A and B are shown apart, each in its own frame.
Chain A
Amino acid sequence: MRTPVFFLVSLAVGLALFFIARQYGNDYIFFAGYTVLQFIVLATAWNILGGYCGYVNFGSAAFFAMGAYTTVALTKFPNFANRYLPESIAWLAQGITYMPIPVFMLLGGLIAGLVGLGTGYLTLRLRGVFFAIATLALAVVLQTLIVNWDYVGGSRGAYVIRPATVPLIGNYVEYLFLLMMVLSVIALTVARGIERSQLGYGFATIRDDELAAEASGVPTLRLKLVATTLSGAFMGMAGAPFPYYIGFLEPSSAFGLAYAVNSIAMPMIGGTTSWVGPLLGAVLLGSLQQYATVTISSAVSLLVVGLLLVGFVIIAPNGIVGLFQKFVRHKEEPEIPLHDPAEETP
Chain B
Amino acid sequence: MTAPLLRIENLGKRFGGFIALDGINLDVAPGERLGLIGPNGSGKSTLVNCLCGTLTNETGSVHFEGRPMNGLLAHQRTHLGMARSFQLPRPFHTLTVAQNIRVPLLYTVKTRPDVTLTEEGLDERCHEMLRLVSLEHKARKMPRDLTQVEMRKLELARAMAAEPKLLIADEAMAGLSSSEVKDIVALLIRMNERGVTIILIEHIMAAVMSFSQRLVVLVSGKKIGDGDPNEVIRDPEVERAYLGQ
Contact = CB atoms under 8 A, between A and B. Distances in A.
B74 A204 contact: no
Chain B's interface size range is: 20 to 34
Interface string B75-86: 100110001101
Contacts of A208: 91-95
B204 interface: no
B106 interface: yes
A217 B94 CA distance: 18
A221 B73 contact: yes
Interface in A168-205: 198, 201-202, 204-205
Contacts of A205: 92, 95, 103
Interface string A205-247: 1011101111111111100000000000000000000000000
Interface residues of A, number: 20
B111 interface: yes
A218 B92 CA distance: 12
A273 interface: yes
Contacts of A213: 75, 92, 103
A209 B90 contact: yes
Nearest to B162: A217
A220 B92 CA distance: 14
Interface string B141-179: 000000000000000001101100000000000000000
Chain A facing B: main interface SS: helix
B75 to A, nearest CB: 5
B230 interface: no
A214 B106 CA distance: 13
- The listed residue with most B CB atoms (<10 A of its CB), out of A198, A202, A215, A218, is A215
Contacts of A273: 94
Interface of A: 198, 201-202, 204-205, 207-209, 211-221, 273
Given A201-B99, A211-B54, 16 more contacts: A198-B106, A201-B102, A201-B107, A205-B95, A208-B91, A208-B95, A213-B75, A214-B75, A214-B78, A215-B54, A215-B74, A216-B161, A217-B78, A217-B79, A218-B103, A219-B107
